[in-house]
Structure 1
Amino acid sequence: MATQHSLLLLTFLLQFSSLQFPSLGLYNLQKTYFINCGSDTDVEQNNNNYIGESDPNYPEKLFGISSTMTSQSSVPSTLYQTARIFNSESSYEFTTIPNNTYMVRLHFLSFSSPTNLSSAKFSVSVPGFHLLQNFDAKNTTNSPLIKEYFVKIIRKRFKIIFTPQNSSFAFVNAIELFTLPIHFIPDLVARFSYLSSTGRGLSTYTGDLLSRALETKHRLNVGGETVTRLTDDLSRNWLPDDNYITTPQNAKNISFSGNIKRTANDESDGPNSNQYIAPDTVYQFAKETKNGSNGLSISWSFPVDKNIDHFIRLHFCDFSNLQPGLTTFFLYFYDTYVQNVNDDGTGISLQLNDPYYYDFVVRSDASGIFKVTLTPNVTFSLPSAFLNGLELMKLIEPSGLVPFDDLDSNSKVNLPVVVGSAVGGLVLVFVVVVMLLWIRKIRKQRPVENSSWLPVRAAAGWSNHSRLTDGTTTQGSPLRNINLGLKISLHDLQLATENFKAERIIGKGGFGNVYKGVLENGKSVAVKRSEPGSGQGLPEFQAEIMVLSKIRHRHLVSLIGYCDERFEMILVYEYMEKGTLRDNLYGTNLPSILSWKQRLEICIGAARGLHYLHKGATGGIIHRDVKSTNILLDENLVAKVADFGLSRTGPLDQHSYVSTGVKGTFGYLDPEYFRSQQLTEKSDVYSFGVVLLEVLCARPALDPTLPREQVNLAEWGVFCKDKGILEDIIDPTIKGQIDQNSLRKFSEAFEKCLQDDGSDRPSMGDVLWDLEYALQLQRGTIQREPHEDSSSSASVSIQLPNVRRFPSLSTLSEIDDMSIGRITDESVNAEDSVFSQLNIGDAR
């Protein structure tokens, strides 16, 4: 066992040492392969040089039994005059740059030959995914068929595997494989839910989009002609949209002969378009609503696979108006409102001739048709809507039947792939030796079960192997010292939930269903079970256990245990009787029964929990998904922060931020974090400010059914406060309960939280101070005049106490409750400090 773990660690170190970072410079086609299969002749096409694979200088490997075939008649291009034929499972193997997104293109044309290529039936797979299953080549006789995929490659070697069906064969005419620009496929994507149980609209697609492969289904140059592969920097074809528009009577084609501006550079992460997102030609054409159409819509319909997640990218460029910002219009999927275009507050530059785009993940319905509609905003003096381009891609689920082969250790790997510089090799050997000696020492000091958490295998099946202790891939960083004493058997959880009975479901999130369970000892628990294809997986599972197994606090939901048997991922929490804060405010058929005083106490509890996360450990922990559904209430309405799947450890160096891909929930997302991808504690503070407004107004953070200026609660709430009309949007059930001084202090708190610049926002400790002050004002323990400025006072002296340095993460499990300000119902003398000292003694 020790040898096995040592080898796994060695593999991880070898892979880590080989990582290259192409994103540090401007994009170029690194590790590019354009292959003329079955030929020793190079072919120039679309500005790309397709190398003949039979050339002895060809750098990559071909494994398996295969032969070549040459066309016996004319074909549309010399690229399709030859093909590689596979009579058994065979593969191409390439050197790749780890942890990069690649374009994979496969070319097929059944030309005339002694072997009837059109009779081929086969599958094509890559590590982790089936790209083509049971492919029938009969429709590839008249013109080339090009299948295009986006795949994240996590290793230095990559295989494309061709598997013929029984008594058949496989073939391919050409292959393309090259890296894509950084951020080409984003980490953060809006998910549109048209059948959501909580209502329609947008949420955040919380999984890593590229944990799945993408297959291009449609790519359109709307309002224009075909854009050929020769014109596009990534060799893409853009087809006219005329075959897909369903309301041609409402639309007209428009064009622009001037220059397309690009405020985005080559490596930018949207929302404005750089040269690789789409070529200028796409943005120089559009379909626009006809003049005098009186708000009539333009619609397109596309054939798609049924009940499958799809990625859609919509391209816009306003070149027909005389000045920017004159046009805003509404976007619909399946006749359901999605959002306003040109008026969503996402930081899009709306300069004339400056292209931009929107990305969404949408699940198709059972009709097999995907519908997109644009409707002008008739409240504008010039109502109009337009679209320049559209891309639609199918998301391919990972396949446990296609393992992530450990290609990096393959003996056939070319020497330059394995061997770096002499100095790098010596350093690597030294590190490996030290780590192996360290492992040997540790194993003498503690049981084997406390070994590092190794990533999960991609294979499926009914095995008792653990995701935490068995695996061969390196898709995530190993986590050390996971508390295996928290493990709960799958059998026990099946008994606790009556085998995950549907009637026991009490909630559903991005990770999966949540069930109410009762353990053998009679303790009620909430059981969160991951679902295949839920969009979340091992990273969130690991993060949740890593955070909650090491900390305890009265205002953080406690982790009871976890289960990772049979490739399940299950988390078990203390049961929170009253559910989510959101459900206690709105969104159910029952009116809210929370008083203003109770709401303040709930906000204070949640703030204490977040403040503890930020300051209770070296480096701190940033939650990254603070929202009203992640604040739970127990039977006594004590608030507890939950769901740590997206949490990140704070910066440990001189920086005040963590650079990371943007994740979170729209409506709560810190705009500064969204723009800069620099995560700070102040990102949680912004999200908490939105929660404070929810508590005050009892409405969602985003409500697309409202007038456009009211859709975003954060913007609308700050606007109303500035205009002195905040009382107009307060929840009517608590209007008569709120002391005006308490309201003033509370509104100051949320307004400070919602500042655009993170440096202008308070710390969570300062927010907690303001909320406890607001509660004291509500209770009447501090007397103030209604006209008095609550930000300063000559009659009251309140100082935040000095806070001791907090213990390190290693001792954090011993600490439960740190509170700035234990407020009791007893009156507090105005001359005394309102807040108590930091209380470590209450830790459990």
Structure 2
Amino acid sequence: MATVQLHTIQHCFCVALLFLLQLSSLQFASLGYNVPDKYFINCGSDNSVTESGKLYVGESTPEAGFSSSNTERNQSSVPSPLYQTARIFRRESWYKFNIDTNGTYLVRLHFFPFTSPSNLSSARFNVSVPGFWLLQNTNGRNDSNNNSALVKEFFMEISTPSIKITFRPLESSFAFVNAIELFVLPLHLISDNNVRRFTPTRGTSSYSGGLYSRVLETKHRLNVGGQTMKDILLRNWIPDDIYLIYPENAKNRSPYQGQIVPRVGDDSDGPNAASYTAPSDVYGTAKETKNISTSAIDFGLFNITWALPVDNNTDHLLRLHFCDYVSSDVGLTLFELSIYDAHVKQLNNDPKVSNELPAPYYYDFVLNSDNSGHIKVSLTPNETADIKDAFLNGLEIMKLIESSNSVPPDLDSEYNRLPVLLGSVLGGVVLVSVVVVLGFLWRFKMNKEKSNENSHRLPILDNGGRSSHGRLTDTTNRGSPLPNLNLELKIPLVDLQLATKNFHASQLIGKGGFGNVYKGVLENGMTVAVKRSQPGSGQGLPEFQTEIMVLSKIRHKHLVSLIGYCDEKFEMILVYEYMEKGTLRDHLYNTKLPSLSWKVRLQICIDSARGLHYLHKGAAGGIIHRDVKSTNILLDENHVAKVADFGLSRSGPPDTQPHVTTGVKGTFGYLDPEYFRSQQLTEKSDVYSFGVVLLEVLCARAAIDPSLPTDQINLAEWGLLCKSKGTLQEIIDPSITEQIDQNSLRRFSETIEKCLQEDGCDRPTMGDVLWDLEYALQLQKGANAIQREPYEDSSSNVSASLQLPNVRRLPSLSTLSEADDTIVRGEESDSVVDSVFSQLKIDDAR
């Protein structure tokens, strides 16, 4: 059981110095703002290091004991001296900081899992402050760039004498941290007084939610039109290019040559910017419209649009920064702001903004993100303006974290302060005694709370240990019946607890939008993947119901199969067949696994195309996957590929309609641009995404890689450019260049090019893609039946000389009515399966 770990970072000051500090804490506007020196902590070390101009002091002092924690030192190169050491926590532990001045504070946590004996990359832990979870089930890794540290940034109001940041290792794991920053912010950096609530249906209204009744987590901070930089608050601003939806509509405005300064004092409360709101370099660069035409403006067809990934159905603070440093006078350049394609307001004519150009200003909006996984911001020139242009200088998005009753409460504040007071007066012996006593009290309290939590989380088992009472049953009893619910697929919770060792951390194999995924072994010896939902996962009861009903009616050997489900009490669990080799992406890049041969890659693409073709043509009414990507293609022990993760899937359009109109959902880098623009979903959207996957297979690199030069960031755009220039050979994965037959490569690259066409009507069907891939494999094998020159046009008649599988339209499964539990299979379905398998179609599932 975890014992109390107390780390108090404390400094003694003379009376005169205390007086000066108290005076400076008033933050007079005339004095400006300087970042305080405390607290900047180099964790796990007693040495100080300098990073970004700040001194991070070593944490180890005689008064600050970590009796059950230890230090790890780096055994490989790291990007910064700050990441040479880390503090390891094997039990629940915390840092406690004394607070001299009430106000808004910034907390930064630095994580870098360098090479060490403890294998820091295997850590799993939670981080909290009183009343709020800052991080849950984190591993401290920067998944977007393995060579960079993960820096998590939070804003919170602190009005107590001290604050504790607590690290809670998950079961059988540990926690770590490399560095911590905690310092008070300027008075009006973020204020409720200048924020508006926005909803797409109602527009803007006054906001009374109270930003600092929550904790704000930084998700994005963009220097629009500029380069990566740090500001006075050590905030990192990055370029915006990878988030542009219509890059052809935008260009970087020439940087301002002078110094942009705020026109009001540093006590500004918006919309005018203060010196700390954003740096001069952010306001001195911008994105603006490019190749603009009056007719396009008149019809509302021209805009600059950014889409930034965020959590679903969560409140976010959106801050937009503007500075007109080009216009000669105020009001000449007017443009419109839209969020989620809904008009918000006209910009660049606010009377509250200084009329002396260039004048930096900003707007704050609180909005609830939709199910698309993105916040979309658009700027459109005003057709009546003297200067028809639109621009944006900077953009910030912060997630609003709600308080949670599941965070174990701190002991009474007086008790928290007691060890420090006694330690100062009576010495180390008394301090140790108090800590031990408080430890026993805390342990007793935690045991009681964990017991209560477990009794709430898990159902009370009956009927010989098997509970049948669950959410689906509750829903049905309340008058929302679920016809055609396959009860034979229901698995008791106790069986899944036994299969996964009670969801032990050692069984954790992944985490997705629905929740954690565990490896398990059922009573009959079958190895399965158990996907367990968790609060805030973004998927709820309706989606859970739909998955079960639809998945139980469809099966195919190239679609990952549903084995069963559990819906007891507060649990929502889906059980799938276990795929031994993991995701396709795991075998392509950033991996230590052996490189896949070209023939194996071709076969994986063929398997995946078969699964998608079956979805489009073999399932009832047709199903559009909507999230085709390399992480959603799984491999079994023989590298047989199966398409997985149908949480965004949607029924295809009826025969009388060419498309389904729906909100945009998917993953950046794979999204069909036509679907994104029109919100009209067709099977060809999957074809586009699959084309990106084919490029990944060929080039062994990510669909989006921000570390590359601008023209190479987006793989689809870069691949098409190389194909048109005849340089595609140069970007192929070096490990397979010697293996690929040139005819096979030509057919494969032609298939990619067709899949990635801008207009969906120009793309092939998935059946055509499957045929082309089969043909590329036959060319690779050097089929003797094909008599043609190496670069003969492979699109001409070949059907007579090449024997390929029959990929004609499969029989319709429209007979799958809601009253029929029969498993209906197409011609390509796997007939040798003794369990009920399925795959899903979900309408607006996330």
TM-score (norm 2): 0.50
Tell me the distance in 2 between the aligned counterparts of 1:586 and 1:640: 19
Q: 1:242 is aligned with what amino acid?
A: A
Please show how residues 224-373 of structure 1 align to structure 2 within 5 Å: 238-242=270-274, 244-245=276-277, 247-248=279-280, 254-255=324-325, 256=327, 257-262=330-335, 269-270=340-341, 274-276=343-345, 280-281=349-350, 354-355=389-390
Match for residue 747 of structure 1?
Answer: 749
Q: Alpha-carbon deviation of 1:259? A: 3.8
Tell me the distance in 2 between the aligned counterparts of 1:519 and 1:191: 46
The 1:719–1:263 alpha-carbon spacing in structure 2 relative to 1, beyond 3 Å, is farther
Specify which of 784, 789, 793 is matched with residue 785 of structure 1: 789
The answer as to 2:614 corresponding to 1:603 is no
Tell me the distance in 1 between the aligned counterparts of 2:391 and 2:542: 31
The answer as to 2:510 corresponding to 1:507 is yes
Q: Alpha-carbon deviation of 1:719? A: 1.1
Match for residue 559 of structure 1?
Answer: 562
Task: Tell me, yes or no, if the aligned pair for 2:196 and 2:207 is still in contact at 8 Å.
Answer: no
Please show how residues 511-660 of structure 1 align to structure 2 within 5 Å: 511-592=514-595, 594-652=596-654, 654-660=656-662
SS in 2 for 1:276: strand
SS in 1 for 2:606: helix
Relative contact order: is structure 1 or structure 2 higher (C-alpha 8 Å, sep ≥ 6)? Answer: 2
Q: Alpha-carbon deviation of 1:242? A: 0.8
Q: 2:721 is aligned with what amino acid?
A: F
Tell me the distance in 1 between the aligned counterparts of 2:666 and 2:562: 22
Match for residue 806 of structure 1?
Answer: 812
Tell me the distance in 2 between the aligned counterparts of 1:630 and 1:609: 12
Match for residue 128 of structure 2?
Answer: none
Tell me the distance in 1 between the aligned counterparts of 2:403 and 2:544: 19
Task: Tell me, yes or no, if the aligned pair for 1:254 and 1:285 is still in contact at 8 Å.
Answer: no
The 1:777–1:393 alpha-carbon spacing in structure 2 relative to 1, beyond 3 Å, is closer
Unmatched 5+ residue regions in structure 2? 1-130, 132-155, 161-187, 209-218, 223-227, 229-237, 244-259, 285-322, 367-372, 408-455, 461-468, 835-846
The 1:479–1:667 alpha-carbon spacing in structure 2 relative to 1, beyond 3 Å, is farther
Match for residue 703 of structure 1?
Answer: 705
Q: Alpha-carbon deviation of 1:590? A: 2.9
SS in 2 for 1:589: coil
Match for residue 71 of structure 1?
Answer: none
Q: Alpha-carbon deviation of 1:705? A: 0.8
Task: Tell me, yes or no, if the aligned pair for 1:487 and 1:563 is still in contact at 8 Å.
Answer: yes
The 1:177–1:525 alpha-carbon spacing in structure 2 relative to 1, beyond 3 Å, is same
Tell me the distance in 2 between the aligned counterparts of 1:765 and 1:603: 13
Tell me the distance in 2 between the aligned counterparts of 1:283 and 1:687: 46
Please show how residues 751-766 of structure 1 align to structure 2 within 5 Å: 751-766=753-768
The answer as to 2:539 corresponding to 1:470 is no
User: Deviation string for 1:103-138 (max 9, x for gaps)?
Assistant: xxxxxxxxxxxxxxxxxxxx9xxxxxxxx99999xx
The 1:769–1:794 alpha-carbon spacing in structure 2 relative to 1, beyond 3 Å, is closer
Q: 1:700 is aligned with what amino acid?
A: A
Q: Alpha-carbon deviation of 1:681? A: 0.7
Please show how residues 113-152 of structure 1 align to structure 2 within 5 Å: none
Tell me the distance in 2 between the aligned counterparts of 1:489 and 1:286: 68
Tell me the distance in 2 between the aligned counterparts of 1:318 and 1:176: 24
Aligned length: 492
Task: Tell me, yes or no, if the aligned pair for 2:476 and 2:482 is still in contact at 8 Å.
Answer: no
The 1:285–1:697 alpha-carbon spacing in structure 2 relative to 1, beyond 3 Å, is farther
User: Deviation string for 1:451-507 (max 9, x for gaps)?
Assistant: xxxxxxxxx865564222224999x99753221221112211111111111111111
Q: 2:823 is aligned with what amino acid?
A: E
User: Deviation string for 1:50-78 (max 9, x for gaps)?
Assistant: xxxxxxxxxxxxxxxxxxxxxxxxxxxxx
Q: Alpha-carbon deviation of 1:794? A: 7.4
Q: Alpha-carbon deviation of 1:735? A: 0.8
SS in 2 for 1:692: helix
The 1:317–1:814 alpha-carbon spacing in structure 2 relative to 1, beyond 3 Å, is closer
Please show how residues 478-489 of structure 1 align to structure 2 within 5 Å: 480-489=483-492
Tell me the distance in 1 between the aligned counterparts of 2:833 and 2:514: 31
Task: Tell me, yes or no, if the aligned pair for 2:621 and 2:813 is still in contact at 8 Å.
Answer: no
Q: 1:807 is aligned with what amino acid?
A: L
Task: Tell me, yes or no, if the aligned pair for 2:599 and 2:777 is still in contact at 8 Å.
Answer: yes
User: Deviation string for 1:514-571 (max 9, x for gaps)?
Assistant: 1110111111001111222223333443343233211010000110111122322211
Tell me the distance in 2 between the aligned counterparts of 1:667 and 1:150: 30
Task: Tell me, yes or no, if the aligned pair for 2:336 and 2:345 is still in contact at 8 Å.
Answer: no
Match for residue 394 of structure 1?
Answer: 400
Percent sequence identity over matched residues? 56
Coordinate RMSD, CA, aligned: 5.2
Tell me the distance in 1 between the aligned counterparts of 2:821 and 2:354: 59
Tell me the distance in 1 between the aligned counterparts of 2:611 and 2:718: 27
Tell me the distance in 2 between the aligned counterparts of 1:286 and 1:595: 64
Match for residue 406 of structure 1?
Answer: none
Q: Alpha-carbon deviation of 1:669? A: 0.6
SS in 2 for 1:702: coil
The 1:480–1:284 alpha-carbon spacing in structure 2 relative to 1, beyond 3 Å, is farther
Q: Alpha-carbon deviation of 1:239? A: 2.7
Tell me the distance in 1 between the aligned counterparts of 2:718 and 2:404: 42
Q: Alpha-carbon deviation of 1:618? A: 3.3
SS in 2 for 1:732: coil
Unmatched 5+ residue regions in structure 1? 1-122, 124-131, 137-142, 155-174, 179-188, 195-199, 206-221, 227-236, 291-297, 305-310, 320-350, 358-385, 402-459, 820-838
Match for residue 21 of structure 1?
Answer: none
Task: Tell me, yes or no, if the aligned pair for 2:221 and 2:397 is still in contact at 8 Å.
Answer: no
SS in 2 for 1:741: helix
Task: Tell me, yes or no, if the aligned pair for 1:201 and 1:704 is still in contact at 8 Å.
Answer: no
Task: Tell me, yes or no, if the aligned pair for 1:607 and 1:764 is still in contact at 8 Å.
Answer: yes
TM-score (norm 1): 0.50
Match for residue 769 of structure 2?
Answer: 767
Match for residue 683 of structure 1?
Answer: 685
User: Deviation string for 1:43-102 (max 9, x for gaps)?
Assistant: xxxxxxxxxxxxxxxxxxxxxxxxxxxxxxxxxxxxxxxxxxxxxxxxxxxxxxxxxxxx
Q: 1:772 is aligned with what amino acid?
A: E
User: Deviation string for 1:28-54 (max 9, x for gaps)?
Assistant: xxxxxxxxxxxxxxxxxxxxxxxxxxx
